[in-house]
Amino acid sequence: RHRPEKGFSIQLDDGPRVAALTGIDVINNFRAADIANGGNGAPLTQAFHRIQFSSADKVSMVLNLGGIANLTVIDKDAEHSILDAFDTGPANTLIDSATRLLLKMPFDKDGEIARSGKVIPALLAKYLSEPYLQLPPPKSTGRETFNPDLIATLTEFTVVASVNAIRQSLFKYKIDSARLILCGGGAYNSLIVQRFTKLLERQHVEVVCADKLGVNSKLIEAHAFAFFAYMFCHRKPLELGKSTGALRPSILGCLN
């Protein structure tokens, strides 16, 4: 349960239990320190995206399509500055919930179910009017904010919510071309990839999946949190203020 505005974020991990069962050190609860320092506790992965995907040739935009979609915008300057990093809205959480609820299937493989349906314009407009989507960064959200419905509409909503956020960042920083790197489970949904490619072509945004850059899309978050654990072990704080709103750098994690 992610409620940074109330000062907490509860994740479904149990560091002490894992440490007791495995007999090895476990570092978890990475969001707490950022929240304690006045931040949203999310997104965090931008610190890793900067290392993994920065480029001297063009602006890189990394969109992680997990349960919730989070966007990182990395400048092509010498420092590879993070221009923006925030949760754009839902990713797979609504589509998967609707698929399980309506069809008793775990997820919509390759967007096949959504392809067979039609987007309901009135419902799409209703979802896009969600107040969270209008908030400026820094911001983070969770599945508590959104509820599942029809799969085709939810798929389009997922794409359009992120596309609108990407366009806002492009306009805000006067970016005339960029590459959008998709990762997470949503990067394997060809309909989602197709819609991003179509909707962003006028903005000269090249859409690629992380796998084509030699990075396993499914493992990026695992790699990111391993990086956070390394930073914790070396007592190195991360500067996340611009993306989470934290008042000071935080050493993320707790040792069990």
Task: Using DSSP, state whether 37 is helix, strand or coil.
Answer: coil
Whole-number Å distance between alpha carbons of 141 and 122: 24
91-130 pLDDT tens trace:
999 899 989 988 899 999 999 999 999 999 998 998 888 7
Backbone angles phi, psi at 88, to 5 degrees: -85, -20
- Identify the H or E element spanning 128: helix 121-128
209 exposure class (CB count in 10 Å sphere: 0-12, 13-18, 19+): middle
158-204 pLDDT tens trace:
999 999 999 999 999 999 999 999 999 999 999 999 999 999 999 99
